[in-house]
Amino acid sequence: MGIFSTFKGSDSRNYEELLIEGERIELLSQLKTDQICFTNKRVIFFDNKTFSKRKVRVFLPYKHIEGFAIQEAGVFDLETCLFLITKSKSFELDFAKDTDMNKIQAILTKYTWS
């Protein structure tokens, strides 16, 4: 499986066993508390806000993403957030403060608008 870009300390092996035939990892990135994996077919992450005591792994195909928004860190708000919008739910993902959101935006634009 080819990896386009990873953050320091990432372990793509955790995700490679989840991939289907023809799927490859495009980017692994650090969330505030977990990781997020962008492949050429979907986004894989944990939704910690759904349940208070459970971590729910989400496999979100790009075809189900209707839109996304990126909130950059500001002067008083130091968090960078990604909002993934589907018909049934919106996901708010908090990223580590040093995350390059341009790479994430490029991947989302490539696969959601093609």
Dump pLDDT digits (tens) for 64-97.
Answer: 999 999 998 766 666 799 999 999 999 999 998 7
pLDDT at 18 over 50: yes
Q: Where are the chain's structural domains?
A: 13-112
Q: Give me the pLDDT at residue 67, please.
A: 96
Dump pLDDT digits (tens) for 39-50.
Answer: 999 999 987 665
Dump pLDDT digits (tens) for 57-66.
Answer: 899 999 999 9
Coil, strand or helix at 78: coil
> To the nearest 5 percent, what fractions of the chain are helix, strand and coil?
15, 35, 45
Q: In terms of DSSP H, where are the helices of the chain?
A: 13-16, 101-112
Q: Which CATH superfamily is domain 13-112 in?
A: Bacterial Pleckstrin homology domain (2.30.29.50)
Q: Give me the pLDDT at residue 11, please.
A: 67
Structure tokens at 59: 């496999």
